[in-house]
Chains A and B, each alone.
Chain A
Amino acid sequence: MNKPYVRPLSKTSWFLTQPRYKRYMAREVTCLFIFAYTFLLIMGLKRLAEGPDAFNAFVQALGSPLGVLFNLSVLIAAVYHSTTWFNVTPQAMPIQRGEEFVPGKIIIGAHYALWAVVSLIVLILGV
């Protein structure tokens, strides 16, 4: 007799059932912070267009404790988000040299190195 039983799966809480699903969700949720930061940048542009007074007020708001807290949490989320992606790059972009594949550590390392260089350039241009 054929009467297969389909086990129910919660559409809203499935990710609580496994630690690896929670890790996945953490990675996905951090992109909301990046979304919020993008929004902040657009706000900054708008203030800039409104004139120097508006822009100065905007910059001052960024320096307030709340502004610093926001920036700090976005930074932590962005670093977490980026590292989770860096760490899986060898899976998505394997490089074969001759017969062997380039070790994953080198591909990941190259991403971190590039990240450091770009950050340094931004830092130098920024000050």
Chain B
Amino acid sequence: MSERQIQLEVLRYNPETDSEPRYQTYSVPCLNEWVVLDALNYVKDNLDPTLSYRWSCHMAVCGSCGMMINGEPKLACKAFIHEYTDQIRVDPMANFPIERDLVTSVEDFIAKLASVKPYLIPKEDKPISAGEFKQTPAELKKFKQYTLCINCMLCYAACPQYGLVPEFLGPAAISMAHRYNQDSRDGGRDQRQEVIATDTGVWECSFVGACSEVCPKHVDPAGALQQVKVASTIDWYKEHLMPWMKK
């Protein structure tokens, strides 16, 4: 196991004493097998216990360790030291307010996610005794990819539109709405359209595509948003040009 001395430059911000953030550099002896999260844990355990950041699973599942690593939105537990030079810069996720050090405010995202009703709204109610709602493998495949989202918010950190217009509902929330809209068991599309087919919803997206490039779970949120645009446009034509087609 080879060891490397890494200069870890971390953006620090203490709301109690600082008026603005500043960088602090730690010299960390890193094993080549490490990820950036290991280096941060080394700092916290051995050099500076005041350093704040979020993490939990250390295996790209919980979605809590998102940060900017050399300016790129990454999961710290999936960013391998051997892919970097001896100088690594770590910032809190872009486009989010900083609470403390690498910890950002997530309230905005949580509220947006909740607003799209990210749960099954069954087409028809049926008693439990009537059995399960069945689904074919093809019907499952239609939305499976979107279920892989871990709510890490890296797509928001990558999205310039979200940075410029904070009201934008954003990639993950709209993708999650799309996930349920695509589900053969679901009947909640009309309710979700009221939230997502709006100016601060999907029409705020100009398809920069950055969200899909940084998504660690290959959800392809940009694709989901374009599909929502196509479907919403078809709705509009149906409503205005073919009113007799109304459901």
Residues on A facing B (Cβ under 8 Å): 1-7, 9, 11, 14-15, 17-18, 20-21, 24, 28, 88, 90-94, 96, 98-101
Nearest A residue to B16, CB-CB: A1
B124 touches A (CB below 8 Å):
no
A-B contact pairs, 23 of them (CB 8 A): A2-B99, A3-B16, A4-B98, A5-B15, A5-B18, A5-B97, A6-B98, A9-B95, A9-B164, A11-B164, A14-B163, A20-B210, A20-B213, A88-B207, A91-B223, A92-B223, A92-B229, A92-B230, A93-B226, A96-B138, A98-B138, A99-B138, A100-B141
Provided the pairs A5-B15, A7-B94, A21-B160 are in contact, do residues A92 and B227 lie with their beta carbons within 8 angstroms? yes
**Assembly CA distance A25 to B21 (angstroms):** 30
Which residues B75-115 have CB closer than 8 A to chain A? Answer: 94-95, 97-99, 105
Whether A2 touches B15, Cβ cut-off 8 Å, given contacts A24-B208, A24-B209, A92-B230, is yes
Q: For the complex, what is the distance from the CA of A5 to the CA of B212, rounded to whole Å?
A: 27
Q: How far is the CB of A72 from chain B (nearest CB, A)?
A: 28
Residues of A within 8 A of B160 (CB): 14-15, 21, 24
Q: Kindly provide the distance from the CB of A12 to the nearest chain B CB, expressed in whole angstroms.
A: 11
Distance from A22 Cβ to chain B, minimum over Cβ atoms (Å): 11
Interface string of B29-71 (1 = CB under 8 A from A): 0000000000000000000000000000000000000000001
- A3-B15, A4-B105 known; A91-B212 Cβ under 8 A: yes
Residues of A with C-beta under 8 A to B183: none
Q: Which residues of B contact A5 (CB under 8 A)?
A: 13, 15, 18, 20-21, 97-98
**Cβ contacts under 8 Å, A4 to chain B:** 15, 97-99, 105
In the assembled complex, which residues on chain A have CB atoms less than 8 Å from the CB atom of B212?
A: 91
A94 to B208, CA, bound (A): 18
Distance in angstroms between the alpha carbons of A15 and B210 in the assembled complex: 12
Q: Which single residue of chain A is at the shortest CB-CB distance from B220?
A: A91
Min CB gap A18→B, angstroms? 7
Known contacts A11-B164, A99-B137: A20-B209 contact under CB 8 Å: yes
Q: A4-B98, A9-B164 are in contact. Are A18 and B71 (CB under 8 A)?
A: yes
CB distance from B232 to the nearest CB of A (A): 12
Shortest CB distance B184–A (Å)? 12
Q: Which of B168-212 contact A (CB under 8 A)?
A: 206-210, 212
Chain A: minimal CB distance from B109 (Å)? 14
The answer, yes or no, to whether B10 is at the interface (CB within 8 Å) is no
Given contacts A5-B97, A91-B226, A92-B230, 14 further A-B pairs with CB under 8 A are A4-B98, A5-B15, A5-B18, A6-B97, A6-B98, A7-B98, A18-B210, A20-B209, A20-B210, A21-B160, A88-B207, A92-B223, A93-B230, A99-B137
**Nearest CB of chain A from residue B174's CB, rounded to whole Å:** 14
CB of A1 within 8 A of CB of B210, answer no
Q: In the complex, which residues of chain B have a beta carbon less than 8 angstroms from the beta carbon of A18?
A: 71, 210
Residues of chain B lying within 8 A (CB to CB) of residue A88: 207, 209, 222, 226
List chain B residues, Cβ under 8 A from A17: 71
Q: Given known contacts A11-B164, A91-B226, is B94 in contact with A20 (CB within 8 Å)?
A: no
